[in-house]
Amino acid sequence: MNSEEPLAHSAKPEQGIPPQTYVKHISGVMKRATENVSGMIRYFSGDTRVLQEAVKRAALLHDLGKLDKANQTVLKKGGKKHLSLNHVDAGTTCLSRGKEYEAAFFVYGHHIGLCSVPQEAGRGTLFLRDEKICNEIDQKLENYLADHEAWYGKIDKSSNETVKSGWTGLTRRLAFSCLVDGDYGDTAVHYGGETEKQSVTQQWKERLEKLTDYVQDLQNKPDASKARKKQRHKTYESCRDADTQPILYSCDSPVGTGKTTAVMAHLLRAAIDKELRHIFVVLPYTNIIKQSVDTYRNALVLPGENPEKVVAEHHHQADFSSYDLRQHASLWTAPIIVTTAVQFFETLGANHPAQLRKLHELPGSAIFLDEAHAAIPTWLWPWAWRWIKDLTATWRCHFVFASGSLPQFWQNGNIASPAENVPNLLSTKQRTQVNKQEKERVAYSTIEKEFDVTGLIKFIQSKKGPRLVILNTVQSAAVLAWRMWKSKNQVMHLSTALTPNNRNALVEDIKMRLQKKDDTDWTLVATSCVEAGMDFSFATAFRESCSAASLIQIGGRVNRHGNNIRAEVFDFRVNNPLMKNNPQLVTSRNVLKTLFEELYFETKNPTEIVSEAMRRELMSDFGDFEKKSLEITKHEQTNDYPEVAKLCKVIDTDTRLVVIVPEIIEALKGYKKVDPVELIRNSVQIRFFKINTRQFSSFCSPINAHEEIYEWRGDYDGKFLGYMQAILPVLEMDADGFAMV
């Protein structure tokens, strides 16, 4: 036995942080992991004993290999030198010998992530062990166990030996989440990046009462016609009073009918009746999170509460694996979490510890999948549907799918097998009434000719303002906004080239400008980030051809409250070398074209249009759709977790967080604590391949050598073009045949 107390983590004297002992770390991980699994299994319909025991045993032995003398020498010396022996090998070996394979699986992956079982089996062993050191570890294992018992306590024999869990991949991810959050969380608390978990009481009944009062106050505001107000009131009551016994619901209530608050009332009722612990609001775009968060904080936070702890906003990916960056991870611990579909669905299919550590909070939750039409690519729906069914059947979750353009994907046999019916929160009579109002509120048409930029600007300016124009890419939106500005037109720009903070400020400016009755001759040029959920009401809208669902969503940003005569929404195409077509949109654009030719927008309601569009898109791309779906099925069923995570990328792009604000950049460089929400609010996401291009590389560099967070060193215009302020001149010079030197 070592005479000096062993360590789990080295000191950081430059930051004034002492070392963490092995005993303290194991105790902290055991406590946190046990609390995690105890909170989760209240909602589990399987064998809770097996699940608890696997997590507990993994937590107990996950760092056993750190007790090796060579590893202790490195830990006590400190610095950035790697441990001499792979420290996960000892715990994995010990648990495998006892046939505790689930716990061994978790220990093996608590740094590298859930592994590929087929790859491991192909090497002749369940877990790849370093052949160079495995004999040494085997010889020393009894010494490690003796040291562990001497310092921490006796290791009792497991009751899980030879027990087969029979878990789904989702259940395994959930159990793994309990362990890695215990490990990551305890480490982050020691290094000062996180505080201990503090729970906020749900108080669902009180929040429902406050929400009802809030909605009643909205009815007194003169923002909508009487018919619209009456419809909002009916929608709210229908959703609030719906039976909570079903575990799946749909709601295709159109824009402006109060869906945001009405569905929340239903979720609160479900949380009360089913004793749920969280409510998730899942949105397709980061920029509409702030608007929803503001609404929910105003409507649901009780006197004396901290709004940020009651309604948490989780923007884009902020799950960092580095010890120095773990403090910036966003966790799902608040009563109400507003997050993105990217974050939600990619977490369900993830294998990496940093991303999975929050997943154990999901069981026993009500989940509002808002703007569901835009949540994920169609090819991902078959497995997403299986996850949803697993969450509802095994983990007592409650789902509502909502959108003003909601495709009934659950009735498509290629997605839900077998196809099934999902009840609607609104009655058939109500849905007929609101669809009639929609026909009177907005009209859709397509422009057959293809515009150049000059012709497009001329066409836009010829229509009634204020005007909204949506482009398919960040670059296209910036190019058009810049050209309109250079042509002396009144123009604003909104896209993810701006930080969330800057976008939020611009959204408020846009709302104020829309309220000015005499200020109409101006245009907002944006990307799809304003397509859904934004409380905008323009006179006319233009949408670069994309899909039927996207076009209908833009209809929700004109004549929003039905106060004016029928507004126009135009589908258009543009030809310009700097405004390139997205090849992924070819099928949906072609389907949209045929729907116009067949007069669908004149004769059908939004649900019928988008459901038919989805069916045709599936038929057109069925080979690719089936291939991707079968690939996910194959790898999930064979426990090939890295491949599933790769295939389940909602946005199949490798992006990096790029910090814009100098003060935050300097704080990160100085290893100072930065609030994770503030970090995200003052950063943008840029594709990694772009960062490495000539146009971007001179403006981006990694912070502290971490290739997970970068700093922006180029021009940045927070009121107009964002980081595209620096990029556009380079692109224009390249297009003209010049290069910057």
- Predicted confidence (pLDDT) per residue in 605-624, tens digit: 888 888 888 888 888 877 77
What's the rounded Cα separation, in Å, for the pair 475 and 581?
A: 11
**Pair 493, 468: CB distance under 8 Å:** no
Q: Is the previous residue joined to 418 through a cis bond, with omega within 30 degrees of 0?
A: yes
Residue 255 has pLDDT above 80, yes or no: no
Task: Tell how far CA 307 is from the center of its chain.
Answer: 21
CA distance 347 to 68: 34
Residue 326 pLDDT class (50, 70, 90 cuts): very low
pLDDT (0 to 100) of residue 580: 81
As a whole number, mean pLDDT of residues 146-173 equals 85
89-103, 303-317, 570-584, 674-688: range with lowest mean pLDDT? 303-317
Q: Is the pLDDT assigned to residue 327 strictly greater than 80?
A: no
Residue-level pLDDT at 1? 42
The pLDDT assigned to 329 comes to: 44
Non-local CB neighbours of 678 within 8 Å, separated by 6+ positions: 664
d(CA 287, CA 499): 9
Question: If pLDDT is split at 50, 70 and 90, which confidence band does 137 have?
Answer: confident
According to DSSP, residue 706 is labeled E
Residue 442 Cα distances to 271, 307, 432, 529, 573, angstroms: 36, 37, 16, 21, 20
Strands 567-574 and 540-544: parallel
Cα–Cα distance for residue pair 83/75, rounded to 1 Å: 8
Q: What is the DSSP letter of 410?
A: G
Between residues 3 and 671, the one the model is more confident about:
671
Q: How far apart are CA 560 and CA 562, in angstroms?
A: 6
Could you say which DSSP state residue 253 is in?
P
pLDDT band at 739 (very low <50, low <70, confident <90, very high): very low
Whole-number Å distance between alpha carbons of 164 and 160: 8
User: Where on the phi/psi map is residue 559: left (φ > 0), alpha (ψ -120 to 50), or beta?
Assistant: left
Which secondary-structure segment (H or E) carries 523? strand 523-526
In 159-294, where do the E strands start and end? 248-251, 278-283
Q: Binning pLDDT at 50, 70 and 90, where does residue 325 land?
A: very low
Is the confidence at residue 370, as pLDDT, over 50?
Answer: yes
CA angle 342, 184, 712 (to 5 degrees): 55
Is residue 150 pLDDT above 70, yes or no?
yes
CB 314 within 8 A of CB 337: yes
Q: What pLDDT does 741 receive?
A: 35
pLDDT in tens, 94-136: 998 888 999 999 999 999 999 998 888 777 666 655 566 677 7
Nearest of 23, 10, 21 to residue 149 by alpha carbon: 23
* H helix or E strand, kind and range, residue 36: helix 22-41
Asked if the model's pLDDT at residue 740 lies above 50, the reply is: no
Lowest mean pLDDT segment, chosen from 314-323, 333-342, 509-518: 314-323
Q: Predicted confidence band at 6 (pLDDT cuts at 50, 70, 90)?
A: very high
Cβ atoms of residues 522 and 490 within 8 Å: yes
Quote the pLDDT of residue 155.
Answer: 87
Q: Grade residue 644 by pLDDT with cuts at 50, 70 and 90.
A: very high
Alpha helices in 192-248 (DSSP H): 204-219, 226-241
Query: Do residues 250 and 408 make contact, with C-beta atoms less than 8 angstroms apart?
Result: yes
Amino acid letter, 376: I
pTM value? 0.81
Residue 658, pLDDT above cutoff 80: yes
Inter-CA distances, 112 with 180, 204, 407, 437, Å: 11, 39, 38, 54
Q: How do residues 183-193 score in pLDDT, each as one tens digit?
A: 999 998 998 87
Q: Which residues of 660-673 are buried (b: 16+ CB within 10 A; e: fewer)?
A: bbeebbebbeebee
**Higher pLDDT pick, 253 / 667:** 667
Where does the pLDDT of residue 360 fall: very low under 50, low under 70, confident under 90, or very high at 90 and above? very high
What does DSSP say about strands 20-21 and 336-340: parallel, antiparallel, or unpaired? unpaired
For residue range 434-462, what is the model confidence (pLDDT) as tens digits? Answer: 777 777 788 999 998 999 999 999 999 99
Q: State the pLDDT at residue 53.
A: 94
* Sheet with strand 683-687: strands edge to edge: 683-687, 655-659, 706-712, 700-703
Buried b (16+ CB within 10 A) or exposed e, 254-264: bbbbbbbbbbb
Closest CA to 110 of 95, 131, 132, 99: 95
pLDDT value of residue 232: 84
* Cβ within 8 Å of residue 335, ≥6 positions away: 200, 201, 202, 203, 277, 278, 279, 310, 311
More confident residue, 377 or 242: 242
